[in-house]
Amino acid sequence: MDNDSSKDSQSTPVNKFKTWVEKYRPSRLDDIVYQNEIVNSLKSIIASNACNLPNFLFYGPPGTGKTSTIIALSKQLFGVEHYKNRVLELNASDERGIQVIRDKVKSFAQRTISNNNQVAAIKIIVLDECDSMTKDAQSALRRIMEKYSATTRFCLICNYVSKIIDPIISRCTVYRFKPLKTDLVKATLLKVGHQEGFKVSDKTLDILIEISEGDLRKAITLIQTLSLINDGGDDDEISSDDICEIAGQVPIKRIEHFFNICRNSKSYSQLLTEIKQIIHAGYSATQFLCQLQEWLAMSDECLLNDGQKSRICWQIGIADKRLLDGCDEFLQLLQVGSCIMQTVG
């Protein structure tokens, strides 16, 4: 009796403080959402001969199951007991230089593994966000992939396959992960909310799915955040503006107000005041411009023709590139606002 209660007391804190993304991360290939062709292909490879596992290159939008798939595959291959000794996970966006490849990756690839007839005699190195790796690091990685191919397999995960050098692509089996369908994301969120005792309305789910843009990980994180700020157990009192605020989105009313000032104002003083308010409110200029472009393209309320829209969107694209290069947010918003004033004036 005492032993059982002590076990419960030890396991409760782990589950209590675990993020929902990790708590509901698939542990088997069968639990992967929507990527049926990829899952079936991986199952066939495992069933035939696990030692013949190729190097993998997974690419596609964020939150579609790339990392979860290789983790589930590794756990099925090695089991939880051997997983830590046989799998090395690195985030290549943080550790992206050639020195990391030579030190961490090469040293793990050189390791000998114990003979075990029940476990495949290979190791797996997972490099997440490898499209952030430098060209020199990718070239060093290519040589390591060749040298230790007998005992080590690589799984490279990225959003943009075009940033991976051709010699690495040619050494991998490439899988493209498709964006998740809305109904599948909705079903998953409902399941998570039900298991956590948090009621989610269809209206809230629709807003979450629209904000997450097919990223299931982001959607699950948002629904957990909503549950933490709402002690009542349901989302009846949560407005769309609250959800946008949590997700770091700019309220659509703010976008419309900015555009109306640009269209109706005869001087730059109002535009300057509005931009200062946007900056002081803490909104990201990149996020603001992204939503402004989407609103211009999808909304009929702006009353602009295609030529006017294209000129404004072209300027938004230039401003976005400058923001990525580290330019001042205030000046870029002012530039876009001035372009709108000139275009519709």
In percent, the amount of the chain with pLDDT more than 90 equals 22
> Are 215 and 177 in contact, with CB atoms under 8 Å apart?
no
Residue 269: count other Cβ atoms within 10 Å of its Cβ: 9
Structure tokens that stand for 23 in this block: 């708590």
Name the band, by pLDDT with cuts 50, 70 and 90, for residue 205: confident
pLDDT of 143 > 50? The answer is: yes
> How is residue 177 annotated by DSSP?
P
Q: How far apart are CA 187 and CA 193, in angstroms?
A: 10
Please name the residues in contact with 238: beta carbons below 8 A apart, sequence gap of 6 or more: 204, 226, 230
pLDDT of 264 > 90? The answer is: no
Q: How far apart are CA 38 and CA 271, in angstroms?
A: 51
Is 182-247 the same fold as 2-176? no
pLDDT value of residue 76:
85
In percent, the amount of the chain with pLDDT more than 70 equals 88
Q: How far apart are CA 197 and CA 181, in angstroms?
A: 24
Name the band, by pLDDT with cuts 50, 70 and 90, for residue 251: confident
Structure tokens that stand for 224 in this block: 């957990």
Say what the pTM is: 0.74
Name the band, by pLDDT with cuts 50, 70 and 90, for residue 312: very high
Helices (H), the chain: 2-16, 20-23, 36-48, 66-86, 98-100, 106-110, 135-147, 166-169, 182-195, 202-212, 216-229, 240-247, 252-264, 268-280, 285-298, 306-324, 329-344
pLDDT of 1 > 50? The answer is: no
Residue 224: count other Cβ atoms within 10 Å of its Cβ: 17
Q: Please write the tens of the pLDDT for every residue from 173-185.
A: 999 998 888 888 8
178: left (phi over 0), alpha (psi -120 to 50) or beta: beta
Nearest CA among 300, 290, 301 for reference residue 257: 301
pLDDT value of residue 315:
94
182-247 under CATH 1.20.1740.10, yes or no:
no
128: left (phi over 0), alpha (psi -120 to 50) or beta: beta
Q: Please write the tens of the pLDDT for every residue from 99-128.
A: 777 778 888 888 877 776 677 778 898 998
Residue type, 194: H
pLDDT of 7 > 60? The answer is: no
Q: How far apart are CA 263 and CA 16, in angstroms?
A: 51
- What does residue 157 show for φ and ψ, rounded to 5 degrees? -120, 130
User: Would you kindly state where each structural domain of the chain is located, as residue ranges?
Assistant: 2-176, 182-247, 252-344
**CATH fold of 2-176:** Rossmann fold (3.40.50)
pLDDT of 8 > 70? The answer is: no
The segment with the largest mean pLDDT, out of 67-81, 263-277, 305-319, is 305-319
CB-count exposure of residue 225 (10 Å: 0-12, 13-18, 19+): middle
The sign of the torsion formed by the CA atoms of 191, 196, 198, 199 equals: positive
- Average of per-residue pLDDT values in the chain: 83
According to DSSP, the residues that pair with 209 across neighbouring strands are none
**CATH fold of 252-344:** Zinc Finger, Delta Prime; domain 3 (1.20.272)
